[in-house]
Amino acid sequence: MITRRKMISGMAAGVGAAFGASLSSTNILAAAAAQRGTPRRVVFFLQNQGFHPDTCVASGLDESCSLDGVTLPEPISGLEPVKDKINIITGLHGRHTSPSHSAYFGALGGYRGGIGIPPGGATIDHVISGLLPQTILPHLRVGMDALSNMKSRPTLATLSAAGPGKPLFMHSNPNDLYRMLFGGIATGDVRRKFEAKSKVLDRIESLANRAGEPLPPSERDRYGSYTDGFRDVNGLRERLADVSEHLTKFVPEYDSRFTNPEFETDWHDAILDVSIAALKAGLTNVLTVGSGRGEIFGAWKGLGITEAGHGLGHMEQPDNPIWIKIRQYNCQMLVKLIQELESVPEGNGTMMDNTLIVYTSNNADKQHTSGEHWPFILLGNCGGSIQTGRFTKLNGERPINDLYTTLLHAIGAPRDRFNMDRNLASMYKSKVGPIEELLA
């Protein structure tokens, strides 16, 4: 049985997991392939600035029902072709997360968040990455933002965490991400930059290890987390080299969107393509996408939207043409994810048959929110575990933590609750176990 070493924060470019030396990349891929037919991957897609219920619930729907015959509202109309694969959920709350401008780590952690507040525990995406079949890179995290922000801060930690005080970084520069995952099989300038960076990181790891030797034991442990970051990056490169022939089947085209983007959406699309390639290649089993990177910024000039940043959150979302464009762009990405995974056979079906996509916001329903209303859309049935083709209206009492508990049940790793002790659970009416209405 394959076991997981302790997951650490990716201090050197955000790589999350390290594996024992005896575990080869070939064995990891073989082990994952042997478990076909079981839920194998989960994608989390979070749009910043909130997700208002009126933008995802058809007018007149006030109770749970089938989506058959229901016309989806304009902002999510792009999901019509996959309507039988979705479950629109309202009636959850995140009041205890204090989301306001953003719940940051609290959005996926189900605990109090906010700017400058460190993670209070592991987030659901990271927990799931440790429970699904092992992969070379169990948890891949990417973030989309204004072009200037993605260039100046190519890695950022705001949404995912490995534990209390252990943030996990996301990648925002598609060139860096491409080189990290596919640089070893690339040619030309991409390959040269990959090899040059590899030599630098090898040298840094060596120097860092020697620099820590004279430290006292207490400081040496703390310093070790720093050197582990470089070791993980270098170890990932070696594991990817072991499966280079396999990767050639999935490597995305490296075009002008990467090297000469006109708008930030060029980079958004490029990041998504690399992420999809990583999923299809079996490199990762959990992908977290942060559109707006969990903060209050972001820009979509490629959609013809001149407004950007914090001001977008102060606009009403229902019937707002700007937010309709952003939400429709999200839906295009979600449909592309589904179609790409449906194109890859797996077991008696396709990769999508064993995938669940979770779409929501890191900011509940809007900016400056109390977290009273927190909609979600689930896409895919997670190996037959989740009901689809449904609108599910809950009573407004259950916290988002109960949905995360439901996801754990869906992947076959049930828990009574997620990140809620008994006192907090009783205060916010969290029930033991999953939300039964969502399970198939």
Q: Taking Cα atoms as reference points, which of 271, 291, 294, 246 lies closest to residue 123?
A: 294
Q: Looking at 241-250, 289-298, 332-341, 393-402, which range is the least confident one? A: 241-250
| Mean pLDDT to the nearest integer, 352-376 | 96
**pLDDT at residue 7 above 50?**
no
The stretch 230-252 carries a mean pLDDT of 78
Structure confidence by residue, pLDDT tens digits, 309-331: 999 999 999 999 999 999 999 99
Note whether 330 and 291 are within 8 A (CB).
yes
- Strands 355-361 and 41-47 come out as parallel
Across-strand partners of 405? none
How far are the Cα atoms of 38, 165, 270, 279, 351 from residue 348, in angstroms, in the given order?
A: 11, 42, 30, 18, 10
The reported pTM is: 0.86
Q: Are 298 and 308 in contact (CB under 8 A)?
A: yes
pLDDT at 241: 83
- Model confidence over 166-200: pLDDT tens digits? 999 999 999 999 998 998 775 566 556 545 555 54
pLDDT over 80 (residue 202): no
Please give the span between the terminal C-alpha atoms of the chain, in angstroms, as a whole number.
29
What residues does each domain of the chain span? 34-178+259-438
**Which two structure tokens, joined as six digits, stand for 86?**
């979705």
Burial of 413: CB neighbours in 10 Å, binned 0-12, 13-18, 19+: middle
What's the rounded mean pLDDT across residues 53-58? 96
Taking Cα atoms as reference points, which of 149, 154, 157, 169 lies closest to residue 118? 157
Check residue 40 and give its pLDDT.
83
Of the listed ranges 242-246, 403-407, 416-420, the least confidently predicted one is: 242-246
Question: Over 90: is that where the pLDDT of 20 sits?
Answer: no
| List of residues 6+ apart from 10 with CB closer than 8 A | 16, 155, 168, 169, 229, 232, 233
Q: Which two tokens stand for residue 415?
A: 């828990």
pLDDT given for residue 55 in this prediction: 97
Contact 144, 95 (CB under 8 A): no
d(CA 309, CA 312): 6
Instruction: Report the candidate in 404, 302, 344, 315 with the shortest Cα–Cα distance to residue 92.
Output: 404
Q: What is the largest CA-CA distance in the chain?
A: 70
Q: Is 144 helix (H, G, I), strand (E, B) or coil?
A: strand
- 352/281 Cα distance (integer angstroms): 13
What Å distances lie between residue 376 and 51, 89, 365, 438, CA to CA?
Answer: 8, 5, 10, 12
**Would you state the pLDDT for residue 219?**
56
Paired with 89 in beta bridges are 376, 392
Whole-angstrom Cα distance, residue 25 to residue 92? Answer: 40
Cβ atoms of 50 and 364 closer than 8 Å: yes
Q: Report CA dihedral (324, 277, 378, 399) to the nearest 10 degrees.
A: -100
Query: Which among 408, 281, 269, 268 has a CA at the least distance from the CA of 341?
Result: 281
> Domain 34-178+259-438 falls in which CATH fold?
Alkaline Phosphatase, subunit A (3.40.720)
Cα dihedral across residues 436, 138, 130, 47: positive or negative: negative
Pairwise pLDDT comparison (224 vs 384), residue with the higher score: 384
Residue entry with tokens 């992908």: 287
DSSP designation for 269: H
Q: Of 12 and 114, which is predicted with more confidence?
A: 114
* Amino acid, res. 207: L
- Tell me how far CA of residue 49 lies from CA of 153, 271, 312, in angstroms: 20, 21, 7
Average pLDDT for 94-119: 95
- Do 53 and 38 form a contact (C-beta atoms < 8 A)? no
pLDDT of residue 132: 94
pLDDT of residue 39: 61
Measure the CA–CA gap between 362 and 103, rounded to whole angstroms: 6
Q: CA–CA separation, 68 vs 314, rounded Å?
A: 34
Residues 6+ apart with CB under 8 A from 214: none
User: Which pLDDT belongs to residue 17?
Assistant: 33
How confident is the model at residue 240, as a pLDDT?
85
By DSSP bridging, strand 86-90 and strand 65-66 are unpaired
